[in-house]
Amino acid sequence: MNWSQLFTSSIGKKLVMALTGFFLVVFLLVHCYINANVLFSNAEENFNRAAHFMGSNILIRIMEIGLFLGFILHIVQGYKLELQNRSSRKSRYAVTAGNKTSKWYSRSMALLGTLILLFLVIHLVHFWVPSRFGGLAEVEYDGKTYHNLYAQMQDIFSVPWVVVVYLLGCFSLSWHLLHGVQSAAQTLGITSKNYYQTIKNIGIVFSILVPLIFALMPLFVHFGWQINTGDISLLF
């Protein structure tokens, strides 16, 4: 397969989706690990320190560019595949035997992906844009100044309907991941029953646990909950 086929053929598009998808899964793990500081004692300082590290580390900033490119490529190829699948049917509303037996979320990847994209835009406007282009209050720890992103989070999640939107975004992400991990494994040629079942089980755990942690964040901030861990933080 040459480079042009990688972006134009059906299998090439699926391969790009699988590879960029796994790249984004790594990002979700890191993002989840950092932001989970919100759930524990001393949440404000720990989260602000973590956010500062992510925003000021040069290696992270370089990876951020790759992350955006990965998102764009994943989204574009996803929509191309959806349009290709629709055009390949005799009728847009034709139902094949495979469609009858497939899970609803596997037939709704484009819809779930669109909901996640809308959620991502809202999330970037709420947090990434202010942290990169100003507008955040500042706070000082040990003589060093940090953006008070936690205060921004408290302000955003004080509004009930915003919390609901974030919960819906996490719900969509969970179902998208549930199918995506299994589909990516098949695309990459992992057909051994034992290996595939292991990846499927890991995908199920991941698609539940990570979105659940993300969903707990707005709830914990909105209701002022914290898990008491003393002065211990997850990372910072």
**Is residue 88 a part of any domain in this protein?**
yes
**Is residue 73 a part of any domain in this protein?**
yes
**Is residue 40 a part of any domain in this protein?**
yes
Instruction: Residue 134: give its domain's CATH number.
Output: 1.20.1300.10
Q: What is the distance between the alpha carbons of residues 185 and 192, in angstroms, rounded to a whole number?
A: 10
**Is residue 122 a part of any domain in this protein?**
yes
The answer to whether 176 touches 74, Cβ cutoff 8 Å, is no
Q: What is the distance between the alpha carbons of residues 176 and 210, in angstroms, rounded to a whole number?
A: 12
**Is residue 235 a part of any domain in this protein?**
no
Q: pLDDT tens track of the chain, all 236 residues? A: 555 566 667 777 778 888 888 888 888 998 998 889 999 988 999 999 999 998 888 888 888 888 888 888 888 888 887 777 777 654 545 544 445 556 655 566 778 888 888 999 999 999 999 988 888 999 999 999 999 999 999 999 999 999 999 999 999 999 889 888 888 888 778 777 788 889 889 999 999 999 999 999 999 999 999 998 776 655 55
Structural domain including 10 reads: 3-223
- The long-range contacts involving 157-163, CB below 8 angstroms and separated by at least 24 positions, are 157/218, 157/221, 157/222, 158/222, 160/222, 162/218, 163/218, 163/219, 163/222
**Is residue 216 a part of any domain in this protein?**
yes
pLDDT reported for residue 185? 80
Instruction: Tell me the pTM.
Output: 0.82
pLDDT reported for residue 196? 82
Q: What is the distance between the alpha carbons of residues 94 and 91, in angstroms, rounded to a whole number?
A: 5
**Is residue 95 a part of any domain in this protein?**
yes
pLDDT reported for residue 36? 92
Q: How many domains does the chain have?
A: 1
**Is residue 57 a part of any domain in this protein?**
yes
The answer to whether 167 touches 218, Cβ cutoff 8 Å, is yes
